[in-house]
Structure 1
Amino acid sequence: MTLDDLRVFVAVCRAGSLSAVARELACTQSAVSQHVKRLEKETGLSLLERRPRGVVPTHAGQVLCDAAAGSIAGLELALRRLGDLANGDSGSVRVTTGGTTVRHFMSEAIVAFRQRYPKTSLEFRTETSSRGCFDALTAGDLDLAWVTIAGAVRGIEQRPVVDLPWVLAVRPDDPLAARTRLRATDLTDIRIIRLPQNSTSGARLDAAFAEQGIPNSSDTSVADWDTALLLAELGLGHAVVPALPGRRISGDGPLRLIPLPDLPPLTVGWAVRRWDALTPLARTFADTVATNCAEVAGHRAVRP
């Protein structure tokens, strides 16, 4: 049983496919299968169940996958930390985020961090949802994930940073544009651009609508908040989105953003495998982003 065997096996369990892992590793499917067979021979147990559209871990396979994933992640973090200690400020920080996170939450913090640590490598991996960020984080090669704070996630620690109240984005010529705030019931008869159902923010908004008895039968949906705002600007509907740090609620632009205080705010922040295992550079980067968000968002910042 080698570390490579375990790495490949964990990758297969997550992908649900031998061929997908083979493509990712630029090797043959047979080579991937050999890693799994060595583990099965050593444990004396069947670890994967073959199905028409891929594979799933057996009960024994899931036990091994869970244990191996945690051990591999811990070992790789330790090696990264040792490397950073040896190299001083020339280490790296690896972050996974949603598509618009860097622009809305990190831009000023990145500049400040880069000025303070010019030799540090900053690496960003984009995922389409918080769930994707959690999965990428548990894969073991990332330090931090910026996510919509969710319920308990196995093997993940979450730290809230800022609360984002919801707003309705409308064009200046819309009848609602002159309002200073709206009740949830004001949304009943308007067409709302739908956030992705598989996203945490979309699920939270759907739950809030259901609790308030607001129907949401939109025929327009988007993959991210920025696209929702663009479609609202084009007159394709109204967008209910979080009020992002630094974005003005009203003004002379193409949209008016009207607060919706009836809807519970969306909390975003950091997720890691273990805070006490973060490298000093990764911890400093996380703190820099959190401090910047607190300064911009003011009272909406979540105090630890």
Structure 2
Amino acid sequence: MARSPRPDAVSPTPTLAQLRALVAVTDAGGFSEAAAELGVSQSTLSEAVGKLEDLAGRPLLRRGPAGTVPTGAGARVLGHARAALQAAADVMLAAQEPDELRGTLRIASYRSAATHLLPPALVAFRARHPGVRVQLLDSEADACGGGEHAVRSGVVDVAVVVRDDLSDLTLQPLAHDEYLFVAPQSRGEHPVVIEEIGQQTLFLPPSRDTCHLRIRAYLNGHGLSLTNLVENGQDSVILSMVAHGLGVTIMPRLALLPLPPGLLTLPLPVPLLRPLALAVQPQRAQLPVIRAFTDTLIRTLNAPAGAGGPPLPQPAGRAADPAQLH
């Protein structure tokens, strides 16, 4: 039954507690689950959501076989509720002094970047800002739904993403990660031709993966039809298959470190790059904690490997050009 707006609510303003209840119930899929996560009673959440629905004049949540989900109006409200909660939290973050940072910094990243690019920056950041707790999430996990989505929805504060058409986010360029052809060592190091890739079994990650999409677009753009494509979600399995002579693959160089025995890497006939960047919501880019982490990451990426910088990859088959990595 639709709720009628309160006659005295000329300009209704929800409280943060009401918005937090709506977001919590939606994310948890139910009132009891959300109450357990927040450490409050189910009746407290029900009352908060009920008052919010009174202000809105219509239901915002509905119970169904799959749990509690937003109504059409609830779905429209949800993004604004998340933004309001984030803005309220950012008020206190903005008031912090750069040398007295506190709180939690949530970072989403591809596994390869998290393994090879982020650790030196995290060490330096923790030494400089011990009051900040860092949470590192896998941007390819279902909970994130992709780094860009995680930043937009407020699940994380910053994310390492591929710098494509993301005009709604502020992007700090990090590195150009080159895709390499990977084959058994017995192949030899003669140059790769496009036709060779189509003549063998090609192992790639699942079709929803950003690397799969990027590689497939590259090959389709060169007129290559993938008739012998095998998908697998584990890089280690793919590389083992290739090492045993069952096919070839194409991977970013960061994902190939350290290169397992029995494999060689070679440049593609026409370079294919994965331009990595750090993404943040524009209105949050200058928050002291985000600014401090961004500056630390850029400093460590530009530092020589022996001076605390990351061990930028030097793949077999061709020496890496450091100028292409910054």
Q: TM-score range by the shorter chain?
A: 0.7 to 0.9
Cα 1:277–1:242 shift into 2, 3 Å: closer
CA contact (8 A) 2:26 2:69 kept: yes
The residue type equivalent to 1:136 in the other structure is A
Counterpart of 1:165 in structure 2 is 178
Cα 1:67–1:91 shift into 2, 3 Å: closer
Match of 1:209 among 184, 208, 219: 219
Match of 2:23 among 10, 26, 33: 10
Give, in angstroms, the shift of residue 15 of structure 1: 6.0
Cα 1:80–1:89 shift into 2, 3 Å: closer
Cα 1:40–1:151 shift into 2, 3 Å: same
Cα 1:153–1:277 shift into 2, 3 Å: closer
CA contact (8 A) 1:208 1:263 kept: no
Give, in angstroms, the shift of residue 48 of structure 1: 3.2
CA contact (8 A) 1:159 1:271 kept: yes
Counterpart of 2:125 in structure 1 is 113
Where does the alignment leave 5 or more consecutive residues of structure 1 unmatched? Answer: none
Q: Does 1:94 align with 2:102?
A: no
| Seq. identity, % | 24
1-structure distance, mates of 2:100, 2:152: 26
The residue type equivalent to 2:204 in the other structure is R
Q: Does 1:254 align with 2:265?
A: no
SS in 1 for 2:270: coil
Greater shift, 39-48 or 114-123, is seen at: 114-123
Give, in angstroms, the shift of residue 241 of structure 1: 0.5
Match of 1:199 among 209, 217, 239: 209
Higher Rg of the two aligned structures: 2
Counterpart of 1:60 in structure 2 is 73
1-structure distance, mates of 2:270, 2:55: 58
Counterpart of 2:93 in structure 1 is 80
Q: Compute the TM-score of the two structures, normalised by the length of structure 1.
A: 0.78
Match of 1:271 among 274, 279, 283: 279
2-structure distance, mates of 1:30, 1:268: 46
Counterpart of 1:140 in structure 2 is 154
Greater shift, 25-34 or 113-122, is seen at: 25-34
Greater shift, 164-173 or 204-213, is seen at: 204-213
Cα root mean square deviation, aligned: 3.5
Counterpart of 2:189 in structure 1 is 178
The residue type equivalent to 1:221 in the other structure is N
Give, in angstroms, the shift of residue 16 of structure 1: 5.8
Where does the alignment leave 5 or more consecutive residues of structure 2 unmatched? Answer: 1-13, 304-311, 313-320
CA contact (8 A) 1:162 1:269 kept: yes
